[in-house]
Amino acid sequence: MAGENNSRSGYGSDIPSETRPRYLSPTRLFLIISATVFFGEVVVMFVLAGLPEMSMFVEALADGIMITIIVTPALILFLMRPMVLHINRREIAEEKLRRLNDILEDRVEERTTELTAANEQLRREIGDRKSAESGLTKSSEFIDRILGSAPCVLAIYDVNSMACSFINDSVENLLGYSPDDVVLKGAGFFQEIFSEQDFASFQELNSRMAAGIDGEILKCECQLQTADSSMHSFGIGLVVIYRTPENQPKDVLLAAVPTRESWPEIQNGLSD
């Protein structure tokens, strides 16, 4: 309400205070004009009474001239001046309104341009994201094919639970276990394929990884037991691929590659 009252009281504030019109009510304006004409006529009558006798035409002409001279300032002061100032104030208000409309149109156009640019940027980002997702999908499929066809056993396991979360299809070709069987066996899989001595060496490697450097590959050679209970020599490599916030090893990648002497034995066993 205060702002509204201020805006109302400030209407036409561009007009200097000394030139602002003081609007009169119609009744008051009528009374002022009537009183001016009346007193003007009285003054004229007194003036004419003091002048030499004139013809009716000259007297009427003098009466009209003098009453016009007397009434005109009142008409200018109380009628014409407020009208002129009102027109000026209205023109100023209309000009301000035009400027505001221009500013509003400029802001609308600027905002529209910003929204159009933002939408275009969003479409480009969506397109880039789709392209990236498509590329990641293809890369993931390519990596899966490489891992699946790798001539070695590749497994990812939790160093704490010793359970595999991933193992490639080569485990079936080299050790005779299906990937599903390995996942179901959990920690028992490593105890089953390692001899007691080699399992102790395997656990020692896992312990050494806690103090190891990221990316460092720990290697050893162990005898692994296949599903048909035959033992074959494999080269084992371990590397940490994820650590906890406390920098402790969590997920480990294991690669088991048959030694050159074991390849013929494994191939013969599989062919049998």
Question: What is the pLDDT confidence band of residue 115, given thresholds at 50, 70 and 90?
Answer: very high
Tokens 């920098």: give the residue.
Answer: 247
Tell me the residue type at 170.
S
Which among 268, 173, 174, 260 has a CA at the least distance from the CA of 221?
A: 260
CA distance 125 to 227: 51
Q: Where are the beta strands (DSSP E) in 54-176?
A: 153-158, 164-167
Work out the angle at residue 50's Cα, subtended by the Cα atoms of residues 45 and 54, and round it to the nearest 5 degrees: 80
Work out the angle at residue 160's Cα, subtended by the Cα atoms of residues 214 and 151, and round it to the nearest 5 degrees: 65
Work out the angle at residue 72's Cα, subtended by the Cα atoms of residues 71 and 78, and round it to the nearest 5 degrees: 90
* pLDDT the model gives residue 3: 44
* pLDDT the model gives residue 100: 92
Which among 190, 194, 167 has a CA at the least distance from the CA of 179?
A: 167
In this predicted model, which residue has the larger pLDDT, 45 or 106? 106
Q: What percent of the chain has pLDDT over 90?
A: 12
Per-residue pLDDT tens digits for 165-208: 888 888 888 888 888 888 888 888 888 888 888 888 888 888 88
In this predicted model, which residue has the larger pLDDT, 32 or 152? 152
pLDDT average, residue stretch 112-122: 92
In this predicted model, which residue has the larger pLDDT, 5 or 135? 135
Across the strands, what pairs with 158? 251
User: Among 93-97, 158-162, 210-214, which stretch is predicted with the lowest mean pLDDT?
Assistant: 210-214
* pLDDT the model gives residue 198: 86
Per-residue pLDDT tens digits for 215-270: 778 888 888 888 888 888 888 888 888 888 888 888 888 888 888 877 676 666 55
CA distance 156 to 270: 25
Q: What percent of the chain has pLDDT over 70?
A: 82
pLDDT of 104 above 90 = yes
